């Protein structure tokens, strides 16, 4: 039997893109130029589907960057500036986001199991269907965050977060 059209074909999952450090440094430099010039030069960082597992992006400026579907498990994103970043479906289990600025970031469907998000700013972030099982939110700012259908949160996790 032949299949016609695409509705009967299974969806192929995109393969993660390897990201050598020199290439990552170029992407970050171009993104910095893009931010500093209000988009007149450089290029917005496109790190979607990038393999960044375990890397240190400590204090990286990734405001408005596309990190959708990226693999960031165990990455060091402490003090990272991710305001307005697209982190939809990003795999961030075990990542450290201590004091990260995730204000207005899209974290919908992100896997944040066991992530350390202490003192992170999640104000206005979209956490729709994000998995926060075992994540630490001590001192995190979550006021205005869209937390509808968040997976794995407990009262214990949220009691030390700032909601107002």
In a domain, 7, yes or no: no
Residue 38 covered by a domain: no
Domain range for 89? 45-164
In a domain, 67, yes or no: yes
Does 20 map to a domain?
no
In angstroms, the CA 163 to CA 145 distance is 9
**Number of domains present in the structure of the chain:** 1
- DSSP state string for 83-126: TT-B-TT-B-TT-B-TT-B-TT-B-TT-B-TT-B-TT-B-TT-B
Q: Give per-residue pLDDT as tens, 103-125.
A: 999 999 999 999 999 999 999 99
Considering the entire predicted model, what is its pTM? 0.89
Q: Sign (positive/negative) of CA torsion 94, 58, 64, 138?
A: positive
Residue 11, pLDDT score: 56
Q: Quick: pLDDT tens for 34-77.
A: 999 999 999 999 999 999 999 999 999 999 999 999 999 999 99
Query: Which CATH number characterizes residue 113's domain?
Result: 2.160.20.80
């Amino acid at each position: 039997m032949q299949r016609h059209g695409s509705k009967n074909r299974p969806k192929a999952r995109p393969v993660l893109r390897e990201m050598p450090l020199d290439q990552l440094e170029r992407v970050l430099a171009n993104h910095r130029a893009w931010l500093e010039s209000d988009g007149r030069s450089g290029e917005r960082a496109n790190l979607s589907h990038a393999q960044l597992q375990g890397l240190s992006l400590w204090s990286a400026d990734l405001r408005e960057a596309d990190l959708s579907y990226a693999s960031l498990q165990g990455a060091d994103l402490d003090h990272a500036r991710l305001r307005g970043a697209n982190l939809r479906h990003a795999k961030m289990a075990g990542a450290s986001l201590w004091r990260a600025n995730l204000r207005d970031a899209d974290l919908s469907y992100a896997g944040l199991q066991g992530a350390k998000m202490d003192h992170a700013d999640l104000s206005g972030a979209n956490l729709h269907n994000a998995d926060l099982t075992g994540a630490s939110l001590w001192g995190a700012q979550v006021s205005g965050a869209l937390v509808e259908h968040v997976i794995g949160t407990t009262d214990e996790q949220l009691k030390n977060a700032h909601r107002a």
